[in-house]
Amino acid sequence: MRDFKWFRLSAMLLFAAVAFSCNKDEEEDTGLYMSGSLTANIPSHVIKGQELTFTASGITNPTDSLTYKWVTEHFSVDSIFGISVTLNAPDSLGDYTVSLYVKHPRYSNKYLTFPMTVIDPASAESFSGVVKGDKFITDARDGRKYYYSTIGNYDWMVENLNWKGSGKPYKNVPALGEVYGRLYSYNDAKTACPEGWELPSNDAWSNLATVANGGIPVLFDNIWTGIGSKLTVNAKLNSEGIWKYSPVNKQLNYFNWNALPGGNVLGNYRSYINMGQYGAWWSATEKDSNNAYYRYIYFDSADFPYNYTDKNNFGASVRCVRTSAGI
C-alpha cells in the first residue's frame, strides 16, 4: 500500500514538472520583442469624407507572419487589416483616434494611437471668422480662387497662397494647407504667385502699414506698433480659436487681411514650428545675397515687426500682391 502511495506521489510530481516546463516555454515565446520603432503616416488633420491611405512601417524583426490591424471607429470602416490600407475619413467634424496594432504568433504585440481632427475648410460650420469679400482671381495653374482686397496702391490677397507646385503645408498635412496656406522658402516664394501677381516688396509692405496707420507714413524697418492687431483675424476651426488667446492682440482684421498663425518651417522643410502662435510672411526684398526680409505677428503682441533670415533654411507664408488698377 505504501508503495502505491509513493507511486502516486511520484507521478504527480512528474506531471507538475512537465506542466511547468511547458508553461516556461510559452513564456519565452511570448516574451520575444519586435525590433524597430513602429510608426505610420497619420495626418493630424483631414477633410471630412477624404480618402486616406495609411501605411505602417518601422518593424525590422520579425519580417514575416506580422498582422497589422487598424481600429478606425466612425471612419468608412471600423477596423481594417493590412500594412497599407485605404479608407475614408468620418463625415462628421470632430476629434477621432486611429489605433494601430501589430501582432505575431511568437512576439509581444506593439500598438500606437494617433489623434486626428476632421475639418471642412469650405464650410463656415468648421472654418469661420475669415472674411473674403467679393473680388477674386482664378489661378490658371490649378483653378483655385484667391480673394483680394484693394489697400492703398496694391491689391492684396486676403488669404495665404496654397499653390502646390512648391512649398509644403504645415507638417506635410494637406488639410492644413486649405486653412493656413503653404509655407515656402524665399527662393520658392519668389516664383510661387500666379501670373500678374508677385511677392510684396518692402515698399508694398510699407504702403499697407501706412494705410492701416490712417495715412501717416510708416517705414518698413520698424516694429509697426499696433498694426498686428489691426490685421489679425479672430478665426475659428471647429469652434476653437485658431490664434492662441491673448488680450493684447485685439484681432480687428482691417481690410479683411485675415492674418492667421501659420507658423514657419526650418531646415529645408524638415522642422515645423509655431502654428497657432506666429504668422510670418515674406518680403520680396533681399537684405543680402543670403538673407531676405519677412514680417511676423506673435499672438501675444499687437505689433507687426520685421526680421531677416536665410533664404533657403526658413519657410514662411506668402501673400501675393499686384499694383491696383486704379494706380
pLDDT tens for 106-155 read 999 999 999 999 999 999 999 999 999 999 999 999 999 999 999 999 99
Neighbours of 150 (CB within 10 A): 15
The DSSP result for 13-80, as a single string, is HHHHHHHHHHHHHHHHHHTB--EEEEEE---SEEETT-EEEEEEEEEEE--SS-EEEEE-TTSSSSEE
State residue 308 phi and psi, 5-degree precision. Answer: -140, 155
- The residues near 327 (Cβ < 8 Å, ≥ 6 apart) are 153
* Cα 180 to Cα 159: distance, rounded to the nearest angstrom: 8
Cell of 68: 497589422
For residue 5, the model assigns a pLDDT of 39
Neighbour order of strands in the sheet with 236-237: 127-128, 236-237, 240-241
Q: Among the three residues 119, 143, 158, which one is the final residue of a domain in this structure?
A: 119
For residue 325, the model assigns a pLDDT of 82
User: If DSSP codes are grouped into helix, strand and coil, which group holds residue 295?
Assistant: strand
In a domain, 25, yes or no: no
- The residues near 113 (Cβ < 8 Å, ≥ 6 apart) are 97, 98, 99, 100
CATH number of the domain within which 43 lies: 2.60.40.10
Cell of 72: 478606425
For residue 269, the model assigns a pLDDT of 98
Indicate whether 164 and 244 sit together in one domain: yes
β-bridge pairing 45-47 and 110-119: parallel
- Please give the span between the terminal C-alpha atoms of the chain, in angstroms, as a whole number: 120
Query: How many angstroms from the chain centroid is the CA of residue 252?
Result: 25
* Cα 198 to Cα 191: distance, rounded to the nearest angstrom: 8
Indicate whether 191 and 52 sit together in one domain: no
Q: Among the three residues 85, 103, 119, which one is the final residue of a domain in this structure?
A: 119
Neighbour order of strands in the sheet with 315-316: 184-185, 315-316, 264-266, 271-273
Indicate whether 275 and 310 sit together in one domain: yes
- The residues near 296 (Cβ < 8 Å, ≥ 6 apart) are 278, 279, 280, 281, 304, 305, 306, 307, 316
* Contact predicate 34/108, CB 8 Å: yes
Q: Among the three residues 119, 137, 154, which one is the final residue of a domain in this structure?
A: 119
Global pTM reads 0.88
Cell of 230: 489691426
For residue 12, the model assigns a pLDDT of 40
For residue 4, the model assigns a pLDDT of 37
* pLDDT lower than 70: segments of the chain: 1-30, 326-327
Indicate whether 181 and 149 sit together in one domain: yes
- The residues near 28 (Cβ < 8 Å, ≥ 6 apart) are none
Which residue segment(s) compose the domain that 96 sits in? 35-119
Indicate whether 227 and 249 sit together in one domain: yes
Indicate whether 150 and 223 sit together in one domain: yes
CA 50 → CA 53, 54, 74, 115, 143, distances in Å? 10, 12, 13, 16, 20
- Output 25-33 pairs: Cβ under 8 A, ≥24 positions apart: 29/106, 30/106, 30/107, 30/108, 31/108, 32/106, 32/107, 32/108, 33/107, 33/108
Please count the structural domains in the chain.
2
* Cα 262 to Cα 139: distance, rounded to the nearest angstrom: 21
